Structures are given as C-alpha cells and as structure tokens.
Amino acid sequence: MPLKITTWNINSVRLRIDLVAKFLKAAHPDVLCLQETKCPDDAFPLKRFQRLGYEHAAINGQKGYHGVAVLSRVPFERFDVHSFCGKTDCRHISVVLGERAGLRDPLTLHNFYVPAGGDEPDPEINVKFRHKLDFLDEMREHPSLRPQSSQRAILVGDLNVAPFEHDVWSHKQMLRVVSHTPVECEKFDLVQKAGNWIDSMRVLTPEPEKLYTWWSYRAADWRAADRGRRLDHIWTSDALAGRVSKIKIAKDYRGAVRPSDHVPVTATVEI
C-alpha cells in the first residue's frame, strides 16, 4: 500500500491557501504536513481543506509565528504535541496512523519546525542561535524520537539545517552561514544517529548530486542564481528502511505568484 506524504513550510497557510489547494489537486498526497502556518487554531482554514478531501486535521498553531499542522485524507488514531526548550511555540505535532487508515501495524508521523537560528552563528551573542542548538540537543535526547527497531516512524519537516556539502549551493561560502555551520551540522547528525533515522532523500539521491528545497526571497532571480539549500527533510525509522520508493521536490512552486521560499517535498512510502 503506497502512502504519499508531503512536507511543506508554507509561510502562512491563510495567505497561501490557494497555492496549497492547487498543489493538493495536482499531487494528491494522502497526508500533508505544514510548517510555519502562522495561524491560531481557531482561525485555521479547516473547511477549505475538508472541501479538498482532507477531512482529518491535527493543528498546533499560534498567531503570527511558527505553527505546524497535519492534514490527512485518511483518519488517524490520535495526535500528540511536544514542547522543547521550555517554550510553547508550536514547533511539533505527531499523529499515529493505524487500523482506521487501513494499516495492520501503526505508523507514527512527526512534523517539525526547527528554529531558524537568526543571522549570527554565535550562541553567546545570538539568543536565536542558542535556542536552535538547544532545540537540536533536546531532539537528540527525546525518547519519542528514538523509535525501536520494530517501530514504524517517519519524521518530516523544516529542520532548518542543510547538513551535507551538496545540500547548499557553496559549501565553502556557507560554512559561516546559519543552517550550514559545523556546530549545527554536528548536532543535526547526532539527532539522526540517536534515533537511527534514515535520510530518505539522500538514500534515493546520493551525493554529490545537489538537492535544494529552499531558495531565498532576497535573490532577484532565484532560478537563475539557484543558490538553494536543503532545509526540508524526510527521515524514516529502521523498520521502514527501503520502503520509500520515490521522493519528489516540486521546485516549480517556488516560481508561483506570492510563493513560500520553501517548496513541497513528497515521499511515497510502501507500507
């Protein structure tokens, strides 16, 4: 049974709901994980998603900043929210798909929005960067992010780290830029190793091929410059190793009218 899961930092779900609807009608994912919804729960456009066939929703949002949501065509058993660094800043939500979705064995899906970290890669002078490093440390230690070898789990989202040399347009020039600094990449790697997570995107598209999911708004011509970064990720637990048959990065959505700076990334998982 193939399950299509999309992750997308939408940078305001209400502002870009028409763009989301266009994508859903074209791509038909079973589950959509959004980050930076920037919307309190009581103002989330649930009715629009329901009309599009996504009748099941788990949302964790607040006014103006951050926020995550899972919209699904198939029902889930339950959802959960974890807070990190003593903040209730709406950066995580997880759902469990099980019998109601037609699955014999349950599957846990985590949706994350890791702090961006600001502009200065020095935790002594930049509290946002310190927050990001602390957040990654807590992810590494969190028991729910350490699935057992038999547990089926997927972790997706805007993790705001481009860990490998070919996940950025210029490794040398990006080493002092937040998202690709050595300390971030090291902590990111420790999160992945602590949970034995498998980087599905790099399994299917190994280095040295470039992979980007984000292009800055600052570029006058983002497509010509192509100075991208891979900030959005899809990880699976050992129990799903080899079960991701396809990953599609929908780059054209960066060229839409009033786009997000991230594009949708869709995995097809054979479950």
Percent of the chain with pLDDT over 90: 98
* Residue 270: count of CB within 10 angstroms of its CB: 12
pLDDT at position 165 is 98
pLDDT at position 195 is 97
pLDDT at position 79 is 97
Average confidence (pLDDT) over 200-216: 98
Where do the domains of the chain lie? 2-270
Cβ contact 244:269 at 8 Å: yes
Cα distances (angstroms) measured from residue 249 to each of 8, 29, 48, 155, 266: 10, 13, 24, 17, 7
pLDDT of 164 higher than 90:
yes
Cα distances (angstroms) measured from residue 183 to each of 83, 130, 134, 188, 207: 23, 11, 12, 9, 21
DSSP 80: E
Average confidence (pLDDT) over 218-225: 94
Over residues 231-271, the pLDDT tens digits come to: 999 999 999 999 999 999 999 999 999 999 999 999 999 99
pLDDT at position 171 is 98
Over residues 4-42, the pLDDT tens digits come to: 999 999 999 999 999 999 999 999 999 999 999 999 999
pLDDT at position 99 is 94
**This prediction's pTM:** 0.98
Over residues 116-140, the pLDDT tens digits come to: 999 999 999 999 999 999 999 999 9
pLDDT at position 142 is 97
pLDDT of 191 higher than 90:
yes
Phi–psi pair at 73, nearest 5 degrees: -80, -20
Q: Which CATH architecture has domain 2-270?
A: 4-Layer Sandwich (3.60)
| pLDDT range class, residue 1, cuts 50, 70, 90 | confident
CA distance 173 to 151: 39
Q: Tell me the average pLDDT of the chain.
A: 97
Q: Can you list the positions of beta strands (E) in 142-243?
A: 152-158, 198-199, 214-215, 228-229, 232-236
Average confidence (pLDDT) over 163-189: 98
